[in-house]
Amino acid sequence: MPILVQLYSARNFHSQMEALDLIAAAGYDGVEGCCLNFDDPAAFRRELDLRGLTMPQAHVPLEMLEHEFDRVVDLTKHLSIHTLIAPWLPEDARPTSTDGWRALGERLDRLEGKLRAFGLRFAWHNHDFELISMPDGRTPIDILLEAAPSMDWEADLGWILRAGQDPVRWLRSHAGRIAAVHLKDIQPDCDHAPEEGWADLGFGVSDWSEVFRTLRTLPRLAAHVADHDAPLDFSRFVSRWKIAHDRLRALRPGQVFEGFTHVALKVHDLDAQLSFYERVMGFREMFRLPNDDGSVFLVYLRINDRQYVELFPDAVGNAAPSPDARGYQHMCLEVADLDATVEVLRARGARMCLWRDDLSRIYEVDGNAITLGRDGNRQSWIMDPEGNRIELMELNLAGMQYGSMAARLASSTR
């Protein structure tokens, strides 16, 4: 399924070409076009091709769809667009009654038929006003989808959240009509927050786990679209959105472990070890955590975006253990739901543990075994039968690891 960026999000950026550079570098498949890209569609297609990007769908104003139909069809040929989406109605054009919305739906139905004759799909993109119930209890989006039964819906989940409603309920109630989704979050007190109250996916107030589980069940969903109505930093938006999206999309219900995240080494000569792992192995330093006195507590090195090496200084002795000796610092396994994992492991007889205050050892506990780590992630610990330590980590999208990944991705695209 293609992962796209809505180019209207870049309207205040330096240029659409620079935005395309960032989008390609961040690993997106393509873009969702908008009116900013239609002046010279052949030239814009060349720019997309140079970066290995596609434009499978685009937002086209309803007025243009109805009154410049031949031009719209020509755009689709130059840009290889297969789905056209009516993005918005100005306030003075919005119906105020059930009959008015039904009449609009009938217009959309006729337009859908004309586009279908050219092999094109047509969809409606919502804001919050289509979700507000009319006096008879029906919502405009329900009326439009009923009056235009072959029209698709691009569900903007950010605007559903902004309307104070549950995206999962809407996704399930119209599962067979949803061809694409806009994914964005909201900030606390969004009506008075910066960036018009919007937040990058995964960095707002919403829980996205059930949303992504539901998205996997939609039979006709063809695109996930990154969107932000007012980003102050477009580079930050495309990098953090992609990191969060990849993380959320990878989660699977009922899967206890999400993978291996890191191994930790207690080292005697930190500088020499850093030189080896960075210069020889090619692992890039992500960040350091300090002790209270400012000395180094640990150094995080990146293997890839989900696997790391931790180096702890001040090891005792100058030689590594022999191959048959017990004792490594610890290994870490990533989990999606730490509370559920602790419950499952305890039921299997695992010895849940916490660290002593002086960090000299971990010890078994019967009660709460979950703490918040210095890096902002929730963690718990177990011991194997020989006392080897295993960390269980629930990564926080706002934690240091994902923050470092997003910063790295943003810097690589500049």
Pairing of strands 351-355, 378-383: antiparallel
pLDDT at position 389: 85
The tokens of 191 are what? 């009506």
8 Å CB contact between 35 and 63: no
pLDDT at position 413: 58
- End-to-end alpha-carbon separation of the chain, Å? 27
- What does the DSSP assignment read for 277-290? IIIIS-PEEEEEEE
Strands (E), 323-364: 330-334, 351-355, 362-364
pLDDT in tens, the chain (414 residues): 999 999 999 999 878 999 999 999 999 999 999 999 999 999 999 999 999 999 999 999 999 999 999 999 999 999 999 999 999 999 999 999 999 999 999 999 999 999 999 999 999 999 999 999 999 999 999 999 999 999 999 999 999 999 999 999 999 999 999 999 999 999 999 989 999 999 999 999 999 999 999 999 999 999 999 999 999 999 999 999 999 999 899 888 778 887 778 888 888 889 988 988 888 788 899 999 999 999 999 999 998 877 898 989 988 877 666 667 666 678 888 888 999 999 989 988 888 999 998 888 899 999 999 999 999 999 999 888 777 788 999 988 888 888 887 887 777 655
Q: Using CA of residue 140, residue 142, residue 146, residue 151, what is the dihedral sign? A: positive
Residue with tokens 């790295």: 408
The tokens of 185 are what? 């979050």
Strands (E), 90-241: 121-125, 152-156, 178-183, 185-186, 198-199, 223-226
The tokens of 176 are what? 């067979």
The tokens of 305 are what? 């975006």
Contacts 24+ apart (CB under 8 A), 368-376: 369/342, 370/338, 370/339, 370/342, 374/289, 374/297, 375/289, 375/300, 375/399, 375/400, 375/401, 376/400
What distances in angstroms separate CA 335 from CA 261, 396, 398, one per listed residue?
10, 11, 16
Q: What does the alpha-carbon distance between residue 341 and residue 4 come to, in Å, rounded to a whole number?
A: 33
Domain coordinates in residue numbering, the chain? 3-250, 259-394
What does the radius of gyration of the chain's CA atoms come to, in whole angstroms? 26
Strands (E), 70-151: 83-86, 121-125
Q: Provide the CATH topology of domain 259-394.
A: 2,3-Dihydroxybiphenyl 1,2-Dioxygenase; domain 1 (3.10.180)
CATH number for the domain running over 3-250: 3.20.20.150
The alpha carbon of residue 1 and the mean position of all alpha carbons in its chain are separated, in whole angstroms, by 14
User: Strand, helix or coil at 313?
Assistant: coil
User: Strand, helix or coil at 301?
Assistant: strand
Pairing of strands 307-312, 296-304: antiparallel
Whether 259-394 and 3-250 are alike in CATH topology: the answer is: no
pLDDT at position 241: 96
pLDDT at position 361: 85
Partners of residue 223 on adjacent β-strands: 180
The alpha carbon of residue 288 and the mean position of all alpha carbons in its chain are separated, in whole angstroms, by 26
